[in-house]
Every structure is written in structure tokens, then in C-alpha cells.
Structure 1
């Protein structure tokens, strides 16, 4: 993964089928107003979003925010952003006066999500914040409060909540096609590169693999099972103490228990490749996704056979759906609001506490 640089200078700031061949398709979103948004933090993921928006029908990049003049120039040229809609972290408050920007998509390092969100909310713009929402539940709640106080919406970049195969499996579970769901397995990991990148710095990332990739299994367990866990246990393994310093987790295995009696067994790691799998089983059937959260195509099968859906670039579909949520008050099938992100942060906090204490931790969804 590429690292995002320079910004830190200013902290101020089924259909089921027998075979599946992925097809590329334009998102099918009803025509309506265009969501005009600014990108905040111009790293590799912002570029991925920018490229995907070219396929979007309801979203357009109309502003850019970065501490790097070089990146501002590059992105402005690539996406056709006017010079009067380019901001750095010192003057971003003036975005309040820019009528061509409705929302800001924050893709800065995790530790900046909270202050950046508060700053954008106070400027009167809707906020889309990349996951993880924050570095802990306390900061996540501050973000929610700031957006509520300023009358703007807060959405979290859970792109998988709009992915067709994911949604089909969730619908099957809701229809009872798996029977009583009993167990979920989530495997999320890859071997991380560049040891100097911000994702391996506790002060910027808030942790290590758990904050980046582990949150997929946490969130996936919740939407696959359709309930929130009430306890966690967790164990950490570290083999490279130079690369993964204090407070930066390399590998964590964790278990979660749910009100229905269902359990989940998950793994989050920065030291193993080919880990991108969800598995759900119930009394009448099962669902398996592999890959389950990568950029696509996603592949899924159940006890009834393989699921066939057209592949749409995740971020293009996400932005079209988020445009509908912000502009049309559409209610998504799986929530993507601040409360959804806050729940994941309560669970992350509990996992870190379980690792530290070696104890089973009951999750309290309140501060």
C-alpha cells in the first residue's frame, strides 16, 4: 500500500447461478441531483475513489484539501477541480463559503478523522469519513455530536454495505434461508509493505492491522449475523518487534459472542496474505465469500450454489448510494451512519482491552 505523506504539517488541523464470470456495469441509480464533494487527504485511497467516481452517475469531485501543493496540483489537473476550490489544512474552514461543495470525503490517517470531521461539520458541510471512523469510541462520539450540532450528515465509508453479493447474502439471512445462524468466521489480512508508512505509526493509525483490516471482520460479523456482539476475547501475536512497535498490532485473533448465542471467530493480520474470507453457517445452510472485502470482484456461494452478480466498482456504487442518502434521505439496507461506525469502535476498544487483560470483556455500547 502506498503511504499518504506531507499532510501532518498541519494537524490544525441469488440471483443464484451455476457459474460466475464478473461483469463490469455502470451503477443503476435513479437520476437526481449530483453530490458535489471535496476530497480531504490525497493519498492512494483518495486516488482510488477519484478514479471510481468517473463511473458514478450522482457524484462529482468539486474540491480538494491537502497539505501538499504537489498533490493539489496533480489531483486538480486529473479531476478538473477549479483553483478556487483547492484548500490546505490551514484555510480549510473557508470551505464554508464554497457553494459548489456539498460534502467532504475524509481519507486522512485515522488519528485525524475526529478533528477533521469536527472542522468540516463546523463549516456546514456533510461528512463522509473513511473507516475506521476514529481511533476509539470516545472520538467517534465527538464526531457524531459535532455533525448533529451543525445539522450535517455523517456517513462512514463502508463500501461493502452496497456490494451486490454482500447484500444478497444479507437478504437471504433475513428471509431465513440459512435457518438460525450460529457461527461466523472472518479472516482479514495481508503482508503490509513500507515500514515507514503512517499505518504503522500508533500516533497516526491508533493501532495496527486491527484498525485497518480487522474492522472488516468486526463489521462483517455484524451485518452477516444481523446482530451486535455482547462480549469479546482476544489474543495478540507479534513476531516482528521492529516493524510492529508498541501499540501497533501485527496479528490479533478474536472471538465474539452474540445475544442469540451465535459466535464469531476472526483473525486480523498484517503478516499473512490470502486472508479475505467470510463464512456464515446456520441450521439450514451456509454462505461463503472469498474474496469478501477486497476491491473486487467479490465471489460468493451458498448451499444453493454460486451467486452471480455484475461487478460494479465499489467506490462508484458507494458514492452514488451516499448521494442518495445525503440528497434524497434514502435509507440504506445496511446502515452507514455515524452510529454504525461508533458500534465498531466500541468493539475495537473492547478487543484491545481483552488483549491487554487476557480477560473476556463485556461490550458496553455507551461511554
Structure 2
């Protein structure tokens, strides 16, 4: 077998969209073994799964949901900066309703609270969608309005206080277990699976990519671009609301000031790490999930290896830059070209024969 034939499949594998995110995630997980030998161990205790891997999936579930919604918005050529505020508003509304209910522990009370949170998120997403698709406001401006105002609304709902609740059914959403696994993991996996089926088994994904790639051409061929754009923002808000319910139920409290703070930046970063283009036109659900897990694993690694809190953000920024460079095809091509030039310069040069040697 020739060298070119042997190298061919390897090069094809590196060009696969999910290859580099998977490699980075695996490298981060393996790096933790140097500090925690049983980092990859998963064990069952009291009928529940425990371990660092379970914690990464558990605490990363809200980020996966927010990143999932962000993916579809970015696929249409937009962006949503208001997801953090939506997270806070959803958690605040749910906890406020439960805290004022006559029977906080009843299933009906919890379902009503969840319905209020999701209904409000649907309205907020629709507002963003109308501002962007119908009125023509730039996405970053339209969602920035809700990002700023929504945080204030969340604090008005909580009256500037932390609302604590005691409700076993509500705690199940973010902190409970079902079928031995954290319910948050199962819920996020269900949403991811449903989204993947809708966008890849139907024409919806292709339509979203066409709108993000060329909105003018998509309208000319009869695609209802405005509705698709609005649908993306509504779905993103619903995903953020689910994340808000998870976060608040996990701690049995709602904090309008800190809940979901800066999660929009982590979500955008997760989407980019997963290979989705910020310019719109193409997206990857699996890549987004890997990107969110990379960020959560990085956060876990920071605490595991004992990095001082004041340097945590600097460490994360450095690792993220390295990850982005590793995933960049342009950077890898330039690095490979420089390596080839270096090998050529170090290769011994043949010495031309003299006239005397030629005559001899």
C-alpha cells in the first residue's frame, strides 16, 4: 500500500466537521487524569450515577440547551444576546409562582409554573423575532434591548431578593434523578434529539441554512424567510427558559441578578467551537453539543487542578484561543506549510561537481 493511500483516510477524517471538537474534548478529559486518577470513573450509589463525567453532563445541560437555540438563530444569520435574561426571567417567574402557591409541592403547581415560564419565553422570543424579521432591526441591537431590560425585569419579579422554594417536583427538573441518571441530562438529550430529527430528517434544516446563506435569494424562490427567522428566535427563547428552570430548580432558588449571567457568551462560543459559521448558512447540532461540553469540561478542569479564582478567566481565554487555532483550517494549513519549508531548509544540499572532477 502506498503512503498516499494510507494517509488519505487520515486526512479525510481530520476534515470531518466533528473531528477537532471531539479531539479537543477528549484531550481535556484525559488531561484531568494527571490530577485526578479516577476522573473518568462512573459509579452507582443509592441507585444514582455519580462521577466527574456525570457532573459535566449534569451541569452542562443548561448550556447545551441555550447553545442549541443559539445554533438555529446563528444559522439564519442572526444572534441572540438576550438568552441570559430569559434564563433569569423564566426561573424567577417559576419560583415566584411556586412560593406563593397554597401547595408548593403539588404537581399541578409546578406544571403551572413551568407553563408560565415557557409562555413568557415564547412571547419574548416572538418579540425578538418580530423586531429582526418584520421591522428589520439588526439582531445584535434587537436582542441587546432585551438583554439589558430583561435583567431588570427579572430583578423586579424577585423584588431584588433571592426567592427560595421547597418543592420536590420542581427540584426534579434540575436536581433530581430519573432512571438512575440526572433528569436534566435526559431532558437536554431529548431536546437535542428532537431538534436533530426536525432539522436533519425534514427540510427545515435546509431552509434555515438557505435563509442564513442568502436571505434575498431564499425569499425569491418562495421560502418564507421572515417566519423562519422568527421561529429561530422563539425556539432559542424556549431553550433558554428550559435552562432557567434547570438552574433555578437545581438550587431551589431564583436569583434575578446572577442567574444565566454571561451564559449568552458561552453559548456563542460553544456554537463557534462546534463548527457553526457566525455568518449563517450552515450549522451543526452535534458540534454545538461538543462545544458546550468543551466549555463545561474546561470549567471543571479549572476547579479540579486548583487554578486560583482570579486567574480563571485568563486561563479559559488562553485555552479557548488554542482550541480555535487548532480547529482553524487556515491556521493548520499555514502551520503545515511552515513545517515543509523548515524541512526543506534543513535538508542537505547536493554539491555541484567541479570541472576537474568532471574531466576525471
Q: Give your verdict on TM over 0.5.
A: no
Q: TM-score, normalised by structure 2?
A: 0.23
Tell which structure's C-alpha radius of gyration is larger.
2
- In proportion to residue count, which structure has more helix? 2
